[in-house]
Chains A and B, each alone.
Chain A
Amino acid sequence: MMQTLTAKASPSPAGILSANIRNLVTRYLWELLLFGLIMVVYHLIALRNDGFSERMIGLLFTDGALGSPGTFIFVVITAFWSFRVWTDLPPGERATFLIYPVDRLTHCIIRIMAGALVIIAVFSAAWIMGALLCEIFGPGRSWFSNEAYVGSGWTKSFLGLLNSYLFGSILALSFKKPEIWYVIKLPVGLTALGMSAELLKLHGLRKALTSIFLYPDGLSASFGNLFYTGTGSESLSPFHVFFIWMLILSVGVILSSRIRREE
């Protein structure tokens, strides 16, 4: 009796997406909560150190604000998260991923999308929480009416973070040898430590930790800057720059996920 394979055998992308989201949240729940907490705390500290000034809000959320440690930590977190999405397994060991009856490219994209949705949800929750806390403990200003907080600045930050996530995803998809992964995680870890040092006003320590791979004159010249303000082209608005980068990085993700097999 010859078996015929019907189209019914393909699972629905929506089902796989929700399964992957559920998996990521279940596995990394504490880490995600920690990310959110870090974001909230950094925001509050940065704001409080500057007396909850409009200027600081602007720095935190508008473009060119990479001098602020509060925003840069997000870049670091999302890059780190893009590896977590692949359960820290290099492409060669992803047999769990590879045995499923889904087209590999589709599966890759769905998995990356799941990671993006999760981290965006966490960020959104953190932002709202931060704004609420500012409302409660701040100098009485209504934070939600602040344009920088909920307006274009917020969106720009989001886009920047997505770009950093996509960039991290390309790295996660491209490197086979597990050793490479440790090399990539190292600057991420160092940057995180550097951020903590910055917040504790230990500028010297921050410089020491992060200047190995960043320009010595400060964080604003880090590669994360690229995703925020571009490479110096004055005719394009930052929004356009973000979207151009997003396009480039998305193509990069698709190319990187093209052939990922066990060996």
Chain B
Amino acid sequence: MISAIPSDLEAGNPAIVTRDLMKFYKKNRALNGLDLTVPDGAVYLMVGPNGSGKTTTMKILLDLIRPDSGHAEVFSISPATGGARVRAAIGYVPEGRIPGYEWMQVGLLLRHHSSYYPSWDSDYADSLIKNLEIDLTRKFRKLSKGESRRVQLVMALAHFPPLLLLDEPMDGLDPLARDRVIEILIDYISETSATVLASTHHIAELDKLADHMGVLFEGKLLAQNSREEIHTSLKKYLLQVPEDWDGSPDLSNAVVHRKGTRPETSWEIWGDETYVTEQLKTAGAMVRSVVPLRLEEAAVAILAGKEQE
């Protein structure tokens, strides 16, 4: 069932906008008409299976790759034409390690990096280094995945960019490091009111930080909503139904996902609670409970529902 979940966010002067972004590789469509809107000051989680286009989107915003069609804007500047200015405003933590740094000592790497950013704050960098327990004398290639991510986080934050692009920020970090990183991000957001676009598989980790979520699937957004909207409109209805129930209330395709078999079944439905409850009752189901969904549950419901199609 295709849900009627809206994908348009109304936001004056959003930090990021993409319209109908397309990117094809030889065998697949990485992006197939992406309409992304990240409001200014939002913490936006991009979730979706591997290959759904999350990394590709970030690379286009940084002008590391060019889209095949459509356009994108970061703070009203197109990365294709104003790449340098856009990149100056972005702190990027990539998913893997960027090649080319391997031979450098961490200290040299940070010094090299800082010469490209006039707004680099050494005091802040030092405090992050201490907080994340980074050893400046080690060579980058000798670092574990988690350690290299921490260094890349310092590289991204220390110049105080107004936009953070985080590709799987929690990946490779042990629980303590994850907690520290979240603490650092919260502090950063409080200080700068920065916008954050994070792609993640660990939705639960970032749940409390996020105020927007976009669900990506095969290069397109299935849904894009504020946390408020999801909380208000996407709910799990625990239903008790008679044995012979045919299960088709008139809900205008707003059913996102169904689980379970009779007599107790749970449906995740997008819509006004009162209206939906009425429809279900009319169709003969007894609504046992209505529960709002956590972000992770919402994402799972939306993706699972897509598979059910």
Q: Decide if B92 touches A10 in the complex (CB within 8 Å).
A: no
Q: Smallest CB–CB gap between A29 and chain B, Å?
A: 12
| Residue in chain A with minimal CB distance to B41 | A1
**Does chain A have a CB within 8 A of B279?**
no
Which bracket fits the contact residues of A?
Answer: 35 or more
**Does chain A have a CB within 8 A of B100?**
yes
**Does chain A have a CB within 8 A of B59?**
yes
Q: Smallest CB–CB gap between B84 and chain A, Å?
A: 5
| Residue in chain A with minimal CB distance to B92 | A99
Q: Decide if B59 touches A262 in the complex (CB within 8 Å).
A: yes
Q: How far is the CA of A262 from the CA of B116 in the complex (A)?
A: 20
Question: Chain A's interface: helix, strand, loop or mixed, by majority?
Answer: loop
Count residues on chain B whose CB falls below 8 Å from chain A CBs: 38
**Does chain B have a CB within 8 A of A11?**
yes
Q: How far is the CA of A11 from the CA of B113 in the complex (A)?
A: 11
Q: How far is the CA of A102 from the CA of B63 in the complex (A)?
A: 12
Q: Decide if A100 touches B112 in the complex (CB within 8 Å).
A: no
The answer to whether residues A262 and B64 also contact, given A23-B112, A102-B116, A104-B83 and a CB cut-off of 8 A, is yes
Q: Decide if B115 touches A97 in the complex (CB within 8 Å).
A: no
Residues of chain B lying within 8 A (CB to CB) of residue A5: 75, 77, 85-86, 88-89
Q: Decide if B100 touches A9 in the complex (CB within 8 Å).
A: no
| Residue in chain A with minimal CB distance to B82 | A5
One of A69-77, A87-95, A245-253 at the interface: A87-95
- Number of A-B residue pairs having CB atoms within 8 Å of each other in the complex: 100
**Does chain A have a CB within 8 A of B162?**
yes
Residues of chain A lying within 8 A (CB to CB) of residue B193: 1
Q: How far is the CA of A104 from the CA of B79 in the complex (A)?
A: 12
**Does chain A have a CB within 8 A of B124?**
no
Q: Smallest CB–CB gap between B42 and chain A, Å?
A: 12
Contact of B112 among A10, A19, A94, A98 (CB under 8 A): A19
Q: Smallest CB–CB gap between A23 and chain B, Å?
A: 6
Q: Decide if A9 touches B118 in the complex (CB within 8 Å).
A: yes
Q: How far is the CA of A123 from the CA of B112 in the complex (A)?
A: 26
Which residues of B103-137 are within 8 A (CB) of A? Answer: 103-104, 108, 111-112, 115-119
Q: Beyond A11-B118, A16-B115, A103-B83: 9 further Cβ-contacts under 8 Å?
A: A2-B13, A2-B75, A5-B89, A9-B89, A93-B100, A99-B92, A100-B116, A101-B86, A101-B117
Q: Which 8 A-B pairs have the closest CB atoms?
A: A101-B88, A96-B100, A9-B88, A3-B162, A19-B115, A101-B87, A262-B64, A95-B98
CB within 8 Å of A: which residues of B? 13, 15, 40-41, 59, 62-66, 75, 77, 83-89, 92, 94, 98-101, 103-104, 108, 111-112, 115-119, 162-163, 193
CB within 8 Å of B: which residues of A? 1-5, 8-12, 15-16, 18-19, 22-23, 26-27, 87, 89, 93-104, 261-263
